[in-house]
Chains A and B, each alone.
Chain A
Amino acid sequence: MQIEVRNLKKDFGQFAAVQNVSFDIEPGKLIGLLGPSGGGKTTILRMLAGLEKPTSGEILFHGKNVNHLPPQERGIGFVFQNYALFKHMNVFDNIAFGLTVQKKTKREIQERVYEMIELIGLKGLAERYPHQLSGGQRQRVAFARALAPSPELLLLDEPFAAIDAKVRKELRTWLREMISRVGVTSIFVTHDQEEAVEVADEIMIINSGRLEQKGTPWQVYKEPQTPFVASFLGESNILPDTASITGFEAATFRLRDKSRAKTANILIRPESIEVGREHEISNPAAASIGLVKSVQFRGTLWQVEVEVGHHRLLAHRTLEKETLKPGDEVAVLIHSLHLFHEDESLFLENEIKRASSAAI
């Protein structure tokens, strides 16, 4: 389903939960609404579902305004954070609920329900009640229940929040496959950036009721348009200036408004910092000298805290390389950084490194 949202607003009393949000969604896309808790993501989702009335603004499905339509008439499926399965109905009746409402014949209902049960891999559990299922199984039933009446838009509110970490990863992949197989336009809410990046075709970053950026996960990671997006998606170091960082001494002069460059924000991703002994570094000429402050094991890599001039930076180092110790003097090569000033955002590469590679 093609969706357009224009200047959507929602106030709860004095509190502005959603402020002037506008976006378009192409049919068949899987969209992740990503942002910190309490940022208005769920409110946007509930307004799309018709469970919440917008204070102002328009929601259009297929180009038609649906603001006045109740949830029953929007052709949507909704998966709730805690699944909200009908606890006094078994799996079969839960999935069949939307179909009985549509006044399908008994045979059609049976066929569709068993097809859904097969699809979610819970064959043989049709007679079970929700309290006899595991969290992951409940999640699947909730998903099947929402999909059974063939909605045009599937909305999922924090679909993985209540599931433990290992099952969550499996379910993510599963959900992605299911949705692409069914081909239904889907929007899910999450506060977990890894989840959003992994599952969504496109993500929308929502913060304090505003849409900060919309794009593919790669675009949003690579070209964040606001400091918030840069700091929320992926890890980052935030610095007040670029003094004593080799290769970026003149970075702030690239901004349009050079006079007030002092108020700029500088963000450096840990993965774009190379840290190591001088002989390990790919381009020692472009590196600064730093002092290792602490080293922390992070499961798949070392996180190294290093002091360069008056800055403290967090950098990543692969596990195969020799382990650094606090107190070691190291070379610190910063490949790139993001510069934000008011509504201007720049992505800059290390100038010395660029010059030397151009010379070759």
Chain B
Amino acid sequence: MIRRVGITITYLVFLVFLIIPLGKVFTSAVSLGTAGFWNALTRPEALHAFLVSAIIVAIVTVLNTLFGVLLALLLVRETAISRRLRHLLNSIVDLPFAVSPIIGGLMILLLLGPHTALGTFFEAQGVKIVFALPGMVLATLFVTFPLMVREVMPVLQEVGTQQEEAAYTLGANGWRTFWRVTWPSIRWGVLYGVVLTIARSIGEFGAVLVVSGNIINKTQTATTLVYQQVENFNYVAANSIALVLAALSIVILLLLEWAKKRKEVF
């Protein structure tokens, strides 16, 4: 009896907080017909925003995969670094989880903003960081950094060092050992991390808003465009883009499930 009530309540919560709003987004997006929906998506600023989002996702995913896997290897496998340093690095990895993304963006602004030493230095070299793509990439990297490390570390720990040691005794160097022995056992974990990173970087709003300045046709991403359209009471446009983002999220969710299954199998 109690169980049934519990299940009913859970379904109701789902309905009220997830399904109904999503339905609202959908009905609002197509309230002016499919033409209106299509129009909202193909406007130059919308196309540009999607492009900026895509670029950020691509760069962040590549960098995060590379550095995430490297840091995980360092933290799990490297015996030369002291225990204290390892501990420190390990806690720093979690920092973005603990800190609000907006504060993360603010930190980048304070470090590389136009009136700081580093900011003026880069400006002099002709590289704009804040209110430009590099800053947005940095902000998204900051937010997504723990995802890959935290995904790969437990897999590395579980696989253990014996297979790698066996490869060494058979004459394989570190590079070959990584690609032939370590990589095949962590690749599904890495894929899971990649999908998580993509999901997080598509949806990132706060940190990017702070460092981007949200300049139309320049530094506006899909999420910050939704925000701006809502501010302008342009609900059809906002909901159309939101609907596309939501659809992407669902696809990613399915990918995540698939990757998780593969990870468990291997």
A residues sitting closer than 8 Å to B (CB atoms) are 49-51, 70-72, 76-78, 80, 82, 84-88, 97-98, 101-102, 145-146, 149
Contact = CB atoms under 8 A, between A and B. Distances in A.
Contacts of A101: 170-172, 176
Nearest to B160: A84
For the complex, would chain B's binding face be called helix, strand, loop or mixed by DSSP majority? helix
A102 B166 contact: no
Contact of B170 (A51, A70, A97): A97
Nearest to B170: A98
B166 A80 contact: yes
Interface stretch (B48-56, B128-136, B177-185): B177-185
A229 to B, nearest CB: 31
A84 B170 CA distance: 12
Contacts, number: 59
Contacts of A82: 162
B266 interface: yes
Contacts of A102: 171
A71 B169 contact: yes
A98 to B, nearest CB: 4
A88 B170 contact: no
Contacts of A71: 165, 168-169
B173 interface: yes
B168 A84 contact: no
A147 to B, nearest CB: 11
A102 B170 CA distance: 9
B167 interface: yes
A77 to B, nearest CB: 7
A76 B166 CA distance: 11
17 contacts: A50-B169, A71-B165, A71-B169, A72-B169, A72-B171, A72-B172, A76-B169, A80-B162, A85-B163, A86-B166, A87-B163, A88-B184, A88-B266, A97-B167, A97-B172, A145-B170, A149-B170
Contact of A84 (B163, B172, B180, B266): B163
Interface of B: 162-163, 165-173, 176, 180-181, 184-185, 266
B171 A84 contact: no
A50 B168 CA distance: 9
Contacts of B166: 78, 80, 84-86, 145
B180 A51 contact: no
Given A71-B165, A78-B166, A80-B162, 12 more contacts: A49-B169, A51-B169, A70-B168, A72-B169, A76-B169, A85-B166, A86-B167, A87-B163, A87-B185, A97-B167, A97-B170, A146-B170
Nearest to B163: A84
With a 10 A CB-CB cut-off, give which of B163, B171, B181 has the most chain A CB atoms: B171
A72 B162 CA distance: 15
A156 B68 CA distance: 36
A98 B171 contact: yes
Nearest to A73: B171
A102 to B, nearest CB: 6
A334 B45 CA distance: 102
Nearest to A101: B171
Contacts of B163: 84-87
B165 A80 contact: yes
A71 B166 CA distance: 10
B242 to A, nearest CB: 42
Nearest to B173: A72
A84 B172 CA distance: 15
B185 to A, nearest CB: 7
Contacts of A146: 169-170
Q: Which 4 A-B pairs have the closest CB atoms?
A: A98-B170, A84-B162, A78-B169, A101-B171
